[in-house]
């Protein structure tokens, strides 16, 4: 027997309600001079690597002119945040001094801020000296991939700067990733939660206000291949730490391996767009409020679909936000 439209609609609504999707927290993320509303709509953080050796676009935007043009394009496509980095953290990448990192990112930040005074810029660095210079140049956020671990001065610097802070989880150093012991599937999410909680405690103890902090599970950072999937599947558990979540899955190598299929060679970084959209959508449904992406426009299109699903799954929360 064929279903009528009303019966089919009721079936869909009940099916969505029965599916397990995250209840994202609604919060204002305190930055240096303003705040961003999180949880109502997914925000895109556009990736801008001002480096010669980043894994997916190294060298493409090393010059200040090319970097600024790319930054303005991402803003035009809807990026709420630009995440600008001057040192690659991929395995085998060459470490650079704080001064070289500053020389790469500060001119770009200054130029973009002059061109778009209302834009929000994040500096991707684990060095306190770079963070200070970038914020003084106009950055609103410090995104530390080490979770305040690699530079003992970073926590105090962020507290003094009174900027927004992204604490990301990294397991070991990039040079260790190929040789460090593998994790069981049931170990990954608890380890990330435990160590992110330590980073959060470290930041608060140094004087960083909790409302200025968001957390990033650090997909691909010290998690090899299949270890990333249980982390993504259980990411909602990280919301118990009381902070909003950022997810950076764009073009990650583990996506290239899975998308290639059994026995296939990993897809090159620039061919991982479809896999990125799938993983990014999953991350939003698992609780991410901000997604860090290389390709802003398609990511935002996927995010709008995921946001609509979350509204359908949690209609009460949607009404409260109006």
* Active site positions, annotated: 252, 292
Calpha distance 253→86 (Å, rounded): 21
CA gap 60, 276 in Å, rounded: 20
CA distance 319 to 322: 6
CA distance 202 to 275: 35
The dihedral formed by the CA atoms of 288, 192, 207 and 142, expressed in degrees to the nearest 10: -50
Residues paired with residue 292 on neighbouring β-strands, in sequence order: 45
Distance, CA of 290 to CA of 216 (rounded, Å): 9
Cβ neighbours of residue 20 under 8 Å, at least 6 residues apart?
none
Closest C-alpha to 109, from 140, 148, 80:
140
Which among 76, 163, 77 has a CA at the least distance from the CA of 128? 163
């Amino acid at each position: 027997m064929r279903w009528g439209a009303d019966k089919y609609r009721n079936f869909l609504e009940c099916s969505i309600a029965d599916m397990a999707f995250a209840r994202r927290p609604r919060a204002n993320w305190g930055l240096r001079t303003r705040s961003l509303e999180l949880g109502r709509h997914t925000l895109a953080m556009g990736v801008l690597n001002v480096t010669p050796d980043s894994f997916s676009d190294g060298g493409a935007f090393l010059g200040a002119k090319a970097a600024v043009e790319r930054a303005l394009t991402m803003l035009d496509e809807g990026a709420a945040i630009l995440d600008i980095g001057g040192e690659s953290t991929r395995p085998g990448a060459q470490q650079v001094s704080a001064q070289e990192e500053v020389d790469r990112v500060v001119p770009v930040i200054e130029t973009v801020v002059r061109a778009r005074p209302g834009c929000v810029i994040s500096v991707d660095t684990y060095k306190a000296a770079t963070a200070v210079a970038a914020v003084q140049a106009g950055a609103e956020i410090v995104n530390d991939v080490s979770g305040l671990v690699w530079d003992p001065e970073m926590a105090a610097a962020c507290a003094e700067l009174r900027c927004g802070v992204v604490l990301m989880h990294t397991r070991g150093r990039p040079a260790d990733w190929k040789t460090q012991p593998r994790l069981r599937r049931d170990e990954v999410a608890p380890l990330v939660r435990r160590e992110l909680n330590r980073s959060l405690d470290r930041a608060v103890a140094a004087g960083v206000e909790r409302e200025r902090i968001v957390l990033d599970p650090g997909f691909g950072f010290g998690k090899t291949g299949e270890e990333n999937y249980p982390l993504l599947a259980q990411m909602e558990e990280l919301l118990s730490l009381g902070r909003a979540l950022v997810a950076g899955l764009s073009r990650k190598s583990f996506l290239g391996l899975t998308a290639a299929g059994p026995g296939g060679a990993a897809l090159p970084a620039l061919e991982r767009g479809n896999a990125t959209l799938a993983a990014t959508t999953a991350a939003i449904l698992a609780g991410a409020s901000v997604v860090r992406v290389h390709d802003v426009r398609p990511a935002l299109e996927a995010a709008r679909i995921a946001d609509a699903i979350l509204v359908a799954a949690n209609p009460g929360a949607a009404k409260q936000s109006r």
